Structure 1
Amino acid sequence: MDSDLPTVTVRLWRADAVVLFDWLVSTDLNSVPVTHPAQRQALADLLSRFEWAADVDITGSTVEEIAAAQDEVAKDMGW
């Protein structure tokens, strides 16, 4: 990522980050329906940021940690 470009900071609940990272790493991004190629690139960029986030390591989450995160996030579903 080019450090000269404007950035946005997004705070995520750790469980959300674990669930999103697990989904992104296990999904064929070429098969995700998009209306513009930039959407697919933005998902790839998000995955990359998760992989390089030094302040929180979610890339080494165990199967048990992922399952627990999924349970936590599912409890918060209001729809």
Structure 2
Amino acid sequence: MESKFGILQSTFEKLQNNLKDADADLKTVEKELIDLQSKVQELTEEIAAKIKDVAVRKKKKSNEKDLLILEIATV
């Protein structure tokens, strides 16, 4: 009976340690996911800024082209 109790106690302790390790792993994964989410947000904002910049440049070129056409037409 004593050895069965020892085996059960040992098994229980191993399970407890495994649960602690799993909890630590989950905390690490959660932190990494939060960091990744932050990086994704930063990239999203950077991409949006670049898209806006391209749109502004495109509009500027279009305006310059229209101005040139207008100047040519008035000559």
Q: What TM-score, normalized to structure 2? A: 0.26
Which has a greater percent of helix? 2
Q: Which has the higher contact order (CA 8 A, sep 6+)?
A: 1
Report which of the two structures shows the higher radius of gyration computed on alpha carbons: 2
